[in-house]
Structure 1
Amino acid sequence: MSAVRILATFLMFALVSGPVLADRLKDLTRVKGVRDNQLVGYGLVVGLDGTGDSAPFTSQTFRNMMNRFGITIPEGVNPDTDNVAAVSVHATLPAFAKNGQTLDITVSSLGNADSLRGGTLLMTPLKGADDQVYAMAQGSLVVGGFGAQGQDGSRITVNVPSVGRIPNGATIEREVTSPFTEGDTITLNLLRADFTTARRVVETINGFLGEGMAYAHDATSISVKAPRDPSQRVSFLSILENLDVDPAQEAAKVVINSRTGTIVVGQNVEVSPAAVTHGNLTVTIQENLQVDQPNPFAGGETVVTPNTQIAVTEDPARMFQFGPATTLNEIVQAVNQVGAAPGDVMAVLEALKQAGALRAELIVI
């Protein structure tokens, strides 16, 4: 099928197709090679109101910068850098970013600077993982946090004043080569690897374009034959990514957050027939001090005698039963009827898993 016929078929499909209850391909996949890249740099922030740092590398960087401008600081003279701070600068270079476009950058203190509020970042090169410079950063910082300190040592800090941002603070100087226009195919990578979803993506694309146009490599990658011309490939992908695919249901999982007590039970979780009882044993210890005083003129001493009372209380344990192939709704209803706390539910779920009655993967985070 020629590229022109493919595009014509796409346009006709876009006009006559109606909305369906499924996920778009663009929500399930990402195009291989179309990705962001991380940039990082090291620089100086100047113009601080005495809130800079006193780190040795800050003085060294400041001295090197002055030497580059032809100003030599005598040896043994340590410049006062209270209004200077050494910072790291990082940004994300999006796919298809072009020369001259701008990026938002984040500036973070590397030393013991109290605040970056009011500072200005001097020209800082931003490098990628290949140690090549891809952008130049400079500008005035926007700091959301602030701090105040009294003469007695008391202080208050709101948010984080040692981190700031510069909107459009970096200018792109080098483009990243994208493999988007290379080869005869486009590879789509599923955000969540699943064999069933990969098969359905292939069937949807082939059902629309024709047999053999798409094929799966594994549970993640699906390749689709595409036109070579960049303009046609953009149009091809713009309509391809809007195809609707019914993704496969997730595997049965129960996720427990032991720090917050949050429990999430997946849709396909089932429980085999099981009876569960869970009771609480409470031990209360009360310490009372009894003071014994001698009679007047008896010549004795006041004595303090401890009086300890220990009580053990066991709450009645209520037993509840899970029937065969219990659904998520039935599990929730049973737990609510028992009135179990999150910690108790965790213990019950772990016991069910050990007993082989919980038909799901138990994940504790």
Structure 2
Amino acid sequence: MKFITVALMLSLLLSPFQAQAQRIKDLASVQGVRSNQLVGYGLVVGLPGTGETSPFTEQSFRTMLSNFGISLDSSVKPKIKNVAAVAVHATLPAFSKPGQNIDVTVSSVGEASSLNGGTLLQTFLRGLDGEIYAVAQGSLVVSGFGAEGNDGSRIVSNTPTVGRIANGAVVERAVPSGLMQNDYLTLNLNTPDFSTAQALADVINMRLGGDPSKGTAIAMPMDAASVRVSAPRDQAQRVSFLATIENFEFQPAAAPARVVINSRTGTIVIGEDVKLLPAAITHGGLTVTISENAQVDQPNALANGNTVITPQSIVDVQLDDSRMFLFDPGVSLDELVRAVNEIGAAPGDLMAILEALRQAGALQGELVII
């Protein structure tokens, strides 16, 4: 099993890289067309005794009753173990219109042990500007559960204090879009790259007849992440224009030479253009085994002595067979991976070798450890 990661990585490196053209819509987004985060505070009721009696839950409960014209004396302490205070959040997609529905996530903010079986009461969801953009309400779907015994023992599966309500919020207000604010559109690359930005502008100019040398460019790269495109002012024409150019295909630039290591899972991803400078590598391991063997000393039957137990330690040191690899200039990392894999090294050994190569300045590429 320890060779799986190295072998898989080796097979990926040895397979031929097939560069393929991609659509603009898969590599870039339109500036101003974005989703918005909404958040609210509410109450979940109907819980089977898994709620809470925290001060802010009691205050929220009293406020809710007062909204219905019911007032409680301050000396009265309501038993509200079937009520829980919750935070409600949702994402409002771009171009959402009043009357449409969106999903919401409900999370306990107090001491409630479970939201299973609860119902969220009407909750206002607000944006960064403090305005109400949606109203949430409905029955929760909770995937987790918990059980507790009288002796304090407890078992919990998944997260019973978080639930979802599909289509649980109704949009009440649309967010203004920045799609029609200027005489041009800005396309933002998902991964900034100067070469890709230039290639994107070139394909739009070529397909739509723009010529930067004559001052008639339709698309112009602004930086490594943005390309400005002249667009019609009419709304219907602009939508049609976007529908056309987002399906243009072009060849993005090759990714930078980079090695990404996940130290927690042992996953190693090596980019195609990563190269090695001349280097000699040796890697071995030292195994130390310590065992205890107690010796019993029994005195002579005619002597007045006591039985004595003498501890005896055995230390065994074993040095694994290590080999040295010598690489010529410009060798790619797939040859290094092949060599390491042949001697049965684990992914952790390869991580150590890559880090040592970076410190020695023999790794042509960025080493990213996550």
- Distance in 2 (CA, whole Å) between partners of 1:143 and 1:299 is 75
- The 8 Å contact of residues 290 and 313 in structure 2, kept in 1 or not, is answered as yes
Report the alpha carbon displacement of residue 54 of structure 1 after superposing the two structures with TM.
Answer: 2.6
Q: 1:78 to 1:295 in 2, by over 3 A?
A: farther
3-state DSSP of counterpart to 1:33:
coil
* Aligned residues with identical type, % of pairs: 60
Q: Deviations over 1:252-273 (max 9, x none)?
A: 0111111222111111100012
- Supply the AA of the counterpart residue of 2:50: T
3-state DSSP of counterpart to 1:193:
coil
For structure 1, the residue ranges without an aligned partner over 5 or more in a row are 1-19
- The 8 Å contact of residues 189 and 221 in structure 1, kept in 2 or not, is answered as yes
2:273 maps to which residue? Answer: 268
Report the alpha carbon displacement of residue 318 of structure 1 after superposing the two structures with TM.
Answer: 0.9
For structure 2, the residue ranges without an aligned partner over 5 or more in a row are 1-18, 212-216
- Supply the AA of the counterpart residue of 1:214: A
Do structure 1's residue 242 and structure 2's residue 251 form an aligned pair?
no
Q: Deviations over 1:174-223 (max 9, x none)?
A: 11100101211111000010000001011100111122111011011101
3-state DSSP of counterpart to 1:181:
coil
- Supply the AA of the counterpart residue of 1:250: A
- The 8 Å contact of residues 148 and 155 in structure 1, kept in 2 or not, is answered as yes
- Supply the AA of the counterpart residue of 1:67: S
Q: Deviations over 1:309-352 (max 9, x none)?
A: 11211112111122221124323212212322122111111111
Do structure 1's residue 254 and structure 2's residue 259 form an aligned pair?
yes
2:314 maps to which residue? Answer: 309
- Distance in 2 (CA, whole Å) between partners of 1:58 and 1:303 is 69
1:138 maps to which residue? Answer: 137
Report the alpha carbon displacement of residue 77 of structure 1 after superposing the two structures with TM.
Answer: 2.0
Report the alpha carbon displacement of residue 26 of structure 1 after superposing the two structures with TM.
Answer: 0.2
Q: Deviations over 1:50-84 (max 9, x none)?
A: 00023221111111211222212111222111100
3-state DSSP of counterpart to 1:126:
strand
- The 8 Å contact of residues 52 and 81 in structure 2, kept in 1 or not, is answered as yes
- Distance in 2 (CA, whole Å) between partners of 1:286 and 1:205 is 73
Do structure 1's residue 350 and structure 2's residue 347 form an aligned pair?
no
2:37 maps to which residue? Answer: 38
- Distance in 1 (CA, whole Å) between partners of 2:296 and 2:203 is 86
- The 8 Å contact of residues 213 and 225 in structure 1, kept in 2 or not, is answered as yes
**TM-score when scaled to structure 2?**
0.90
1:122 maps to which residue? Answer: 121
- Distance in 2 (CA, whole Å) between partners of 1:304 and 1:68 is 81
1:21-100 alignment to 2 at 5 Å? 21-100=20-99
- Supply the AA of the counterpart residue of 1:261: G
- Distance in 2 (CA, whole Å) between partners of 1:363 and 1:238 is 37
Report the alpha carbon displacement of residue 362 of structure 1 after superposing the two structures with TM.
Answer: 0.9
Do structure 1's residue 194 and structure 2's residue 186 form an aligned pair?
no
- Distance in 2 (CA, whole Å) between partners of 1:208 and 1:340 is 52
3-state DSSP of counterpart to 1:179:
coil
- Distance in 1 (CA, whole Å) between partners of 2:303 and 2:54 is 73
Q: 1:297 to 1:174 in 2, by over 3 A?
A: farther
Report the alpha carbon displacement of residue 87 of structure 1 after superposing the two structures with TM.
Answer: 0.4
- Distance in 1 (CA, whole Å) between partners of 2:300 and 2:160 is 68
1:364 maps to which residue? Answer: 369
Do structure 1's residue 288 and structure 2's residue 287 form an aligned pair?
no
Q: Which moved more, 1:80-89 or 1:301-310?
A: 301-310
- Supply the AA of the counterpart residue of 1:178: S
- The 8 Å contact of residues 266 and 328 in structure 1, kept in 2 or not, is answered as no
- The 8 Å contact of residues 299 and 307 in structure 2, kept in 1 or not, is answered as yes
Q: CA RMSD in A?
A: 1.5
3-state DSSP of counterpart to 2:349:
helix
Do structure 1's residue 319 and structure 2's residue 324 form an aligned pair?
yes
Aligned residues: 346
- Distance in 1 (CA, whole Å) between partners of 2:76 and 2:150 is 29
Q: Deviations over 1:141-168 (max 9, x none)?
A: 1111112223333332221111100011
3-state DSSP of counterpart to 1:283:
strand
- Distance in 1 (CA, whole Å) between partners of 2:198 and 2:150 is 69
3-state DSSP of counterpart to 2:331:
coil
Report the alpha carbon displacement of residue 296 of structure 1 after superposing the two structures with TM.
Answer: 4.6
Do structure 1's residue 330 and structure 2's residue 329 form an aligned pair?
no
